[in-house]
Chain A
């Protein structure tokens, strides 16, 4: 009898376990999220299976969309806020969101690609070619009017189209790279402020002098975006405008042939670390996002930013009474090409795996075009591409945002090549990690800068073999 009881109990327990495992989300109605900071973790695994296959959802039918993005805490807060706004306006739509830092986002995305469960709405940058199979082009939604592009100029639509004219996504905003710097720290060290055509030599001297005079880092950590913002820009700045690029225009090979063109840049990077003017690998690990960058914590005079990040850190520093400004990316020669271009910061895409592609597209359209929505977002993802939205935001821009707008128009005046490639090929992550290691090896004297250049070139070349 006892044994029998035990068996029954076990069976009940097992049944309980399986019952917990399968929730029935299809009948879920819209419930406002209780905690704005809460992450809906792994929401995907059980929802998609249970929802029936319908691409054109009835307007009253309950729809659950999954969305994810990467970014800073500010971005998480405001994005959650607009998601709740959208849910209030569309009571049948429930959006389950997840947010990550940049690296974790792509790790998660890769596992979702493998299991065909990519979020309905997801964020991508210039690295989209790696995920092109998972992107549902937006052309049909634009043709049918689901996505409203009446206030978006063609030029801005083009920055997120592929070479065949397919609309990959809608750009969240215009963006370009720059160097944010602490004006007071420059003055304290007696270093002249950057001009709009300052050179890498000026940059290096400024960083070294500041480190020597103030004991702080001249330039903060070169995070992973530095590979594109610094190293690959360095190639584009050599020769005539548009003569070289790191990768070629159709992303099928390298855009330059002499690996030694990289050497001076790698040498400069290593030199800064060696002299304590830039953090070493250990210190760099302490930077987890732009909000605790050494520039923001007052331990560095400069840092690399994608300019959409600037207003956030400007505000944080302003509260402490410090003044930040934006400088252009230094050039190889003061009268040579700037190498900087205005590009899409990142975009929202509709996923191939989505059950509700049209609903996803509707949300993206609202996200880009609604003035209410963008009054909350405030161009944190880049300068909006919708003309009305941009005018509305420019009218009430904060100081930090004004600096960003001015900076983007300044970069817009630089001479740029007719065609340019701002995309990254699949597998670039490994090249970037190796490149950063080579620099550390140059610092420790294991290899020379010229060897590091050769190795980086060989690694990058291998991507196309």
Chain B
């Protein structure tokens, strides 16, 4: 009997340990991460140096041939350019918009919570295929936007038929999903002590001056966070291009991720697609690193002496 109690107490002591509890709660995530992220990442690195295809299922080591092929691949180079353009336009626009709305919504009004929730909705549904299909209809030849243009007596625009134009509706769709950045900005704005503004007002500063010299510097760590997150997300954009334009016209919306998908699943070049993914990882790492390096010139920490 006493042995039994001892046993239970050992078990209960084990179960009551902080570490055990923590590990059990973390298990679902760890399991998912290892099985669906970590292992695929490692195998994809191996496949990047092979000619693996899902059809043949044989992977022969071919050295860096996949990476060399990348340099001569017209569509790859084009997709890289388009993705960079997409990131460079969509991210600043999205952040500016998110900041503007967040700023407007810091006013003390009873409706603020309602508005915030409303503006957050696109972010909840934004990445979905359904919204992409709606977007496709809105910008179609006889879609809403063209109907409005025609109604105003203007000439209609062939959004998805023109190589130069096709990317912009996709950018607009991303910008429209500014909600999550907005919520983070709003939280950051609340943290700025009101006494700064009071002091500035006493000194006779205008609204723009206060925004430029108080809001932006105080908010800069949050801007950095949003910038990094949104940049990474923008590089991985896939759904819009896949559903709305299929990469066309003339590969004018061939996003990087869509190109990888095509190579892997449509054209059966899984090894090549893995090489492309790793190339993108390097590019994204460099850009993120650059953003972090540059941050010491424009991000103000609480502990800084300046």
**Which A residues are within 8 Å of any B CB, using their own CB?**
3-4, 6-7, 10-11, 14, 17, 103, 106-107, 110-111, 113-114, 130-131, 133, 280-286, 426-427, 429-430, 433, 437, 440-441, 444, 446
Contacts and interface: CB of A to CB of B under 8 A. Distances in A.
A168 B55 CA distance: 18
Contact of A426 (B166, B251, B268): B268
Contact of B24 (A7, A103, A110): A7
Contact of B245 (A131, A285, A444): A285
B250 A444 contact: yes
Given A280-B249, A282-B141, A430 B267 contact: yes
A285 B248 contact: yes
B162 interface: yes
Contacts of B251: 437
B12 interface: yes
B157 to A, nearest CB: 10
A366 B15 CA distance: 60
A14 B158 contact: no
Contacts of A285: 136, 160, 244-246, 248
Given A280-B158, A441-B250, A444-B250, A110 B16 contact: no
B163 A14 contact: no
Nearest to A286: B140
A282 B169 CA distance: 12
A446 B163 CA distance: 12
Contacts of B161: 280-283
Contact of A110 (B159, B244, B265): B265
B294 interface: no
Contacts of B245: 282, 285
Instruction: Enumerate the 9 nearest inter-chain pairs by beta-carbon distance, A residue then B residue, closest first.
Output: A282-B161, A281-B249, A282-B160, A114-B54, A440-B250, A280-B161, A430-B267, A281-B248, A7-B15
Nearest to A107: B265
A283 to B, nearest CB: 6
B158 A282 contact: yes
A45 to B, nearest CB: 14
A374 to B, nearest CB: 33
B104 interface: no
B190 interface: no
User: Most B CB atoms within 10 A — which of A11, A427, A437?
Assistant: A437
B10 interface: no
A427 B158 contact: no
A111 B162 CA distance: 33
A176 to B, nearest CB: 27
B21 A3 contact: yes
B37 interface: no
A430 B140 CA distance: 26
29 contacts: A3-B16, A7-B15, A7-B21, A7-B24, A14-B27, A14-B28, A110-B54, A110-B266, A111-B265, A114-B54, A130-B55, A280-B161, A280-B249, A281-B161, A281-B250, A282-B141, A282-B160, A282-B161, A282-B249, A285-B244, A285-B248, A286-B141, A426-B268, A427-B268, A429-B266, A430-B267, A433-B266, A437-B248, A440-B250
A427 B267 contact: yes
A114 B27 CA distance: 29
A430 B249 contact: no
Contact of B141 (A103, A283, A427): A283
